[in-house]
Amino acid sequence: MTDKLWGGRFTQKAAQWVDQFGASIGFDQQMAQEDLEGSLAHVAMLGQQGIIPAADAATITAGLHQLQTKLAAGELHFTVANEDIHLNMEKLLTDLIGPVAGKLHTARSRNDQVATDFHLWLKHRLPELLTALTDLQTVLVEKAEAHAGTLMPGYTHLQHAQPITYGHYLMAYFEMFQRDYERFSFNQRHTDMLPLGAAALAGTTFPIDREFVAAQLGFDSLYHNSLDAVSDRDFALEFLSNAAILMQHLSRLAEELILWCTYEFNYIEMADSFATGSSIMPQKKNADFAELTRGKTGRVYGALMGLLTTMKSLPLAYNKDMQEDKEPVFDAYTTVLGSVHIFTGMLESLTVHAQKMHDATVNDFSNATELADYLATKGVPFRQAHAIVGELVLKGLQTHTALQDMPLADLQAAAPQIEADVYAELAPEAAVNRRTSLGGTAVANVQREVSRAKAIIADR
Ligand code: ARG
């Protein structure tokens, strides 16, 4: 027998570097609190069900409480020799209360224990992420309200397409983060499930009460198949998938903000607190935090792909491969939470160069659709109107004359249906405000969507 907690059938000790390879204590100590919480619920159940004597349950409970106090004070020391958080805790409890600690593991396996800890870990943390998303959405709504009428070019293919408002643009991201919010809310449902009681894989012969444990730990529901309970990591994959999609949104926003603070665009300027300088070029002000978030997107995608690949082809039930599940989730959580906070502060504090945005909508032919629509309302088939305006644009490009600066006679030469009222329609403000179709960029629409968004947030 070796000195491992599971060492009964072993005669040879592993080398230290082999232990190191197999250990997870380096990272799963992040679940220390959850491990103690799970043990407290389990021992309460063991005592209540008479599976162990009430006095032993009380001794173990007191010991676990002591460990909680020590953990909070930073006085617990974990070692690789004890492999993971579960065995480290058991060893620390044994040091504290003696061999009675060994009764805690009755009707339990590390397989259902680790699954329980991991569920609890995420269950405890999803609310903070949801709150952070609400803060981000709140800033977007506030800024969208303030900029409901701030004109800017709308792009397709990164070419000027049609004028929109900055408020409308921001509300597009509100919608994306709303879907993120809904996805993470749903993620709670599959996270809020108790695996404990599945034991190693097949359930247990002891008269346990899983509903009692679920209630103790505040779980909404419990797993109904012991094999599934110990081998399911869907909740973690759902989290990573949601995190990857959220990072995609942040990364797209990051890309635009980075572009917009260039000399060429100059639509916005980052607050000093969300920018960095260069060690050699004194004039530089870089959008480092937007860039870093864009970069970290790769790491979150990597976490998702990593765990999907780890889980692929794993036979039921538990396999040690699954020890690889925690680091990507821990890392992605820190990354997405940090990124959401950064973007909240960044969007809140950046300066909008409204005049610059507006000017970019004036001489860019982004009112060409207006003229085509104008002709279409005068009875010209849209295809024909498109061709007429295309030729006018070509002429305008050659003579450096915007559509609204062309004399009426020239416009009428191209299409006799054009009258003097066309000029009012060619202004970017008019182009925006005529787009009143549901979801369109008209100022009144944006204001209405802002009210709707506020109600969504207030409803949480
Ligand atoms: N450290 C392990 C993990 O993270 C705990 C479960 C170990 N179970 C086992 N049968 N070896 O997955």
Q: Catalytic pick from 221, 278, 341, 451?
A: 278
Pocket test for ligand 1, best of 89, 323, 327 (most atoms within 8 A of CB): 323
Residue nearest to atom 11 of ligand 1 (CA): 320
Please report the pLDDT score of residue 3 as a whole number: 81
Pocket test for ligand 1, best of 110, 116, 196 (most atoms within 8 A of CB): 110
- DSSP 3-state assignment of 205? coil
Alpha carbon of 53 to ligand 1 centroid (Å): 28
Please report the pLDDT score of residue 178 as a whole number: 98
Using CB atoms within 10 A of its CB, is residue 117 exposed (0-12), middle (13-18) or buried (19+)?
A: buried
Please report the pLDDT score of residue 2 as a whole number: 81
Alpha carbon of 211 to ligand 1 centroid (Å): 24
Residue nearest to atom 4 of ligand 1 (CA): 323
The Cα 250–Cα 294 span in angstroms is: 7
- Annotated active-site residue 226? The verdict is no
Please report the pLDDT score of residue 410 as a whole number: 95
Ligand 1 atom nearest the C-alpha of 84 is 1
Residue nearest to atom 3 of ligand 1 (CA): 323
Rounded to 10 degrees, the C-alpha dihedral 13/14/19/22 comes to -110
Alpha carbon of 434 to ligand 1 centroid (Å): 62
List residues bridging with 352 in a β-sheet: 268
Question: Which domains occur in the chain, in start order?
Answer: 15-106 (1.10.275.10), 111-146+168-352 (1.20.200.10), 368-458 (1.10.40.30)
Ligand 1 atom nearest the C-alpha of 322 is 12
Alpha carbon of 216 to ligand 1 centroid (Å): 23
- Annotated active-site residue 437? The verdict is no
Q: 155 near 163, Cβ under 8 Å? A: no
Comparing CA positions, the residue from 138, 333, 172, 320 lying closest to residue 243 is: 333
What six digits make up the tokens of 227? 């094999």
Q: What is the residue whose two structure tokens read 């609310």?
A: 127
The Cα 25–Cα 83 span in angstroms is: 6
Q: Is 92 left (phi over 0), alpha (psi -120 to 50) or beta?
A: alpha
Residue nearest to atom 2 of ligand 1 (CA): 323
Q: Catalytic pick from 157, 273, 279, 437?
A: 157
Alpha carbon of 148 to ligand 1 centroid (Å): 54
The set of residues, in sequence order, having a beta carbon less than 8 Å from that of 217 and lying 6+ positions away, is: 37, 38, 41, 116, 120, 194, 196
Pocket test for ligand 1, best of 105, 314, 320, 326 (most atoms within 8 A of CB): 320
pTM of the model: 0.95
Q: 158 near 255, Cβ under 8 Å? A: no
Alpha carbon of 86 to ligand 1 centroid (Å): 9
Per-residue DSSP letters for 57-88?
Answer: HHHHHHHHHHHHHHHHTT-----GGG-SHHHH
Alpha carbon of 15 to ligand 1 centroid (Å): 19
Q: Mean pLDDT for each 10-residue chunk of the chain (460 residues)? A: 83 88 97 98 98 98 98 98 97 98 98 98 98 98 98 97 97 98 98 98 98 98 98 98 98 98 96 88 88 98 98 98 98 98 98 97 93 95 96 96 96 96 95 96 98 97
Please report the pLDDT score of residue 276 as a whole number: 86
Please report the pLDDT score of residue 300 as a whole number: 98
As for ligand 1, residues whose beta carbon falls within 6 Å of it are 24, 28, 84, 110-111, 114, 318, 320, 322-323
Pocket test for ligand 1, best of 4, 28, 84, 311 (most atoms within 8 A of CB): 84
Residue nearest to atom 12 of ligand 1 (CA): 323
